[in-house]
A and B are shown apart, each in its own frame.
Chain A
Amino acid sequence: MSISETISTLFPRERAFYEAAKRGELLIQSCIDCKADVSPTAYVCPRCRSLSLEWQVSSGEGTVYSYTTVPRPRLKELADQGEAVVVMVDLDEGVRIMGRLVGDRRNPKIGDKVTVTFEPLADDVAEPCFALSATTATSQNSSEKS
């Protein structure tokens, strides 16, 4: 299994999320009827049950809700990269999203601040990932000293 193969099978509506990532945008949805911020994977507004959802660009800022480290991920793209750190992130808009933690520091804690970052996949698609925000790194360092 590979990330590229998984995305190549998607229909246009679902594929738009990865095309936006190529432009440097993390998409979530917005309910046209009640203005709620909605998960990018939802088809129904969780607040008013409307089907009228439209894309909006997320701030890309969020907080770690949970995480797990996979020592030997099975994806082709990750084969040579050692362990994968999977994160569930609560975006500042109140929408939860799943991703992979990338960057130098990959030992998160629940509540750590993260920022979206985009990993290239192909000419027209990229994958949204997350990196620990600088503020989180600073606060952890200072708490270790105290």
Chain B
Amino acid sequence: MRSSSSASKAAVIVGVDDIVGDSAKNRSPDDLTIATSYAALADAGIDPSEVDAVFCASPHDNMPSLRLAEILQVNPRYFDGTSIGGGSYESFVGHAALALESGSCDVALLAYGSAQRSARGSFTTRSAPPPAEVASGMIYPASSFALMATRYLEVYGGGPEQLAEVAVSAREWARHNPRAARRELLTVEDVIASPVVSSPLRKLDCCLVTDGAGAVVMTRADRAAHLPKRPVHVRGFADASTHRFVSAMPDLLTTAAAKSGPNALRMAGMEISDIDLFEIYDAFTIDVLLILEDLGVCGRGEAGKLFLAGDTRPGGRLPINTNGGGLSYAHPGMYGIFLLVEAVRQLRGESQGYQVSDPNTALVHGLGGPLSSGSTVVLANEGQLA
């Protein structure tokens, strides 16, 4: 619980937007970023000139928050461009909440845009991995996650269908979402029959490469009371990391979520069983299994059973990645912003066709690098009790 924040000063999310599919194709990252930022601000009912804090991570520019301020033509008094990978936007929610609650800013814009697919994937990384990793013949990023998947299947037992079920569950959600990139029927057999990228991971265990953009607008609860839509409350947040490159990951079966998850829930004053839906960064199928276990949703080695039982699919007791996820909805380089957008839409009841029944709480978990960082955000329709 953030003791310093009174209910009226508490940070809330008041606007979201994303651009995916055909409307994102063959547009520059700046073009996409401005379009989605304006749409999210319109959703919030806030004029773009009121933005006084910008949060941006980007594979395109090493001063991304300056670039966002320039193209938006605003002069912010608060900047954050901290890059801890694709989950940076989950981390930004916490940073923005602290900045808003301390009075360092009044309207925070988190925005991302990427032309990764139109640019043929050429923006994936600029980081130099350790030479021993390069020389081993690893491919990036898949082999890092494949090393975790090998160990998962050998230590806990089970075959590639454990991984494949995660992709099938995501697709079952995407089939109900007209904006998802992949909507055709997908079976476990299809996933296992797709070509091996880095064993045991196959092509359909890997996220999509798409174009896209997304934005989130945050302010304080007292301001939100005068805005058109009901705010979504930021109840808890926490970051953690275990390594940068996989060769330094202490335990391939324990991710940063083991720390960020419990810390974020403690701040929210909630238990894992209080969460109605989960948006989990699914760059690769193995990620979701490891993160659910680290969050305490199930025991070690048991996440596969949740997927096999259908618990995670539409109508199941544990809705996970309700828009279709990075595996079937969209994945333009950094997916973190899209997890937040979908969680807010679900809590507002706006996910038409794939809406979870009356959710009040959502847990969003972003990862960065090869499961190097973990950033957990707990969102709710109700604010903290005073």
In the assembled complex, which residues on chain B have CB atoms less than 8 Å from the CB atom of A97? 132, 247
The interface stretch among A3-11, A30-38, A131-139 is A3-11
Q: Are B134 and A6 in contact (CB under 8 A)?
A: yes
1/0 per position for A75-115, CB-CB distance to B under 8 A? 10010000011111000000011111000000001100000
Interface residues on chain B, size class? 20 to 34
Q: Are B139 and A74 in contact (CB under 8 A)?
A: yes
**From residue B74, how far is it (CB to closest CB) to chain A in Å?**
40
**Can you name the residue of chain B whose Cβ is closest to the Cβ of A85?**
B137
B235-259 at interface with A (beta carbon < 8 Å): 247-248, 252
In the complex, whether A52 has a CB less than 8 A from a CB of chain B is: no
1/0 per position for B112-150, CB-CB distance to A under 8 A? 000000000000000000111111111100010011111
Q: Are A66 and B151 in contact (CB under 8 A)?
A: yes
**From residue B198, how far is it (CB to closest CB) to chain A in Å?**
5
Q: Are A75 and B155 in contact (CB under 8 A)?
A: no
B160-198 at interface with A (beta carbon < 8 Å): 195-198
In the complex, whether A59 has a CB less than 8 A from a CB of chain B is: no
A69-B196, A86-B143, A96-B247 are contacts. A1–B134 as well, Cβ < 8 Å? yes
Q: Is chain B's interface secondary structure helix, strand, loop, or mixed overall?
A: helix
In the complex, whether B199 has a CB less than 8 A from a CB of chain A is: yes
Q: Are B150 and A67 in contact (CB under 8 A)?
A: yes
In the complex, whether B154 has a CB less than 8 A from a CB of chain A is: yes
**From residue A102, how far is it (CB to closest CB) to chain B in Å?**
10
Partner among B135, B148, B149 whose Cβ is within 8 Å of the Cβ of A6: B135
A86-B143, A110-B154 are contacts. A70–B138 as well, Cβ < 8 Å? yes
**From residue B287, how far is it (CB to closest CB) to chain A in Å?**
15
Subset of 7 A-B contacts with CB under 8 Å: A1-B134, A66-B150, A66-B252, A68-B143, A68-B146, A98-B132, A100-B137
Q: Which residues of A come within 8 Å of B, CB atoms?
A: 1, 3, 6-7, 10, 14, 17-18, 39-41, 65-71, 73-75, 78, 84-88, 96-100, 109-110, 127-128
Q: Which residues of B come within 8 Å of A, CB atoms?
A: 130-139, 143, 146-151, 154-155, 195-201, 247-248, 252
